[in-house]
Chain A
């Protein structure tokens, strides 16, 4: 559940957001391009296979599992901010369930 009014704003470049943008940059052809929380992934020329690589990298970095199927429309991956939100909520769920492994 997303109740934090700060979440998703451009100014909200916390640790999770910074790490995710770092991961996105690794998979961009031109990493010097500006990336904000509002940037749609489509603008970063990230395609389905890139997304699988990015999701893998995010899972590895944060020790979480992200349910994602390339065959389905996934709105949680529309913008950089929506990815950050999704990851934060999964981190929270993972901590709550104590399933760190």
Chain B
């Protein structure tokens, strides 16, 4: 089957993750299949005076073990996560390194972050204002800026084409992957490392989130009647994207085709999402992929477990999919890895790609009793074996910023 209509096709040749369920795609996928949960009591800072004391921290990340390059070992954690996930994606793609001179300018590195090196900033302000230090660490600025992850990874692999970060809160990774896909499709570049990283779990940020009153003190239970908010997490999700003919010619492993991308803004409210914005983004992604709704088998939902998101997303899915919504397998893997914020869309894209490759839909855990207003098949508690040809991944961010990806099987 071909949906190319003469245009350049884009395939995924590598993927990498750092998640609260563990580092590396194999570990991550095994945990998703088993319905494990990576949300635990916070270890990395004191929660004594907080009422939110749980989060999705990375359980197995020692930078000196995971990373080879000294600049990355000295970088902020968010860049380290990006570097580690990129390393996995590049290795899997079997790309010949270093990238040849004539190809380096036709390679992209678009890695975003919701807030960049927030923990570095918190530390340095503490040193200045509380400890009365005379200066901050000389690397503070380079660690903090939101483009340092993309810069570090471009340096690692000699990528000299479009390199920058994108920012759209919890849709960041999805926008980064979508933009890179479009750059490859339109012929601007032939390959790109794309995704996002987030490592903003710290005392100050938890305080700020607490003040918004949207976090759950107990757990992240998407679509459930008992849901009472989201749970913060961190990590990275990175894809290696390549133009199909090129990937085929060099014998790269082709994991999936990236077939469609849609992006919209609600232009309505900073926190209350709209059905219009979400459904239009999904529709655009389907149109871009030349797929009808009934061809999609699996939707990896945004599913944050806030009161408003899950009902709004359910309604938006129904609007786009119509009767086909009842045959869809849906799940929110956030129930297991938490809300990885800017990195979420990258991690969830990997879950969608694995669902296609492994013919398995990961579950939504903690879904004992669904909210009556959330009445679709969210793959409650136990994952399911099923043919997954086409999978959609939704990301809907604060500010009403929406981005949706559609993946399909490797081109035949």
Contacts and interface: CB of A to CB of B under 8 A. Distances in A.
Q: Do A and B come from one complex?
A: yes
A69 B226 CA distance: 13
Q: Interface of chain B, helix or strand or loop or mixed?
A: loop
B272 A69 contact: no
Contact of B229 (A47, A52, A67, A71): A71
B272 A68 contact: no
B307 A70 contact: yes
Given A55-B213, A71-B216, A49 B271 contact: yes
B51 A49 contact: no
A65 B214 CA distance: 16
- Contact-residue bracket for chain A: 10 to 19
Given A69-B229, A71-B227, A71-B228, A52 B272 contact: no
A48 B227 CA distance: 17
A56 interface: yes
B214, B215, B270, B272 — most chain A CB neighbours (10 Å): B214
Interface in B142-199: none
Given A70-B212, A71-B306, A71-B307, A49 B229 contact: no
A6 to B, nearest CB: 30
Contact of B214 (A55, A56, A71): A71
A70 B212 CA distance: 8
B51 A52 contact: no
Nearest to A51: B213
Interface of A: 47-49, 51-52, 55-56, 65, 67-72
Shortest beta-carbon contacts, A-B, top 4:
A71-B307, A70-B213, A71-B229, A52-B213
Interface of B: 51, 211-216, 227-229, 270-272, 306-308
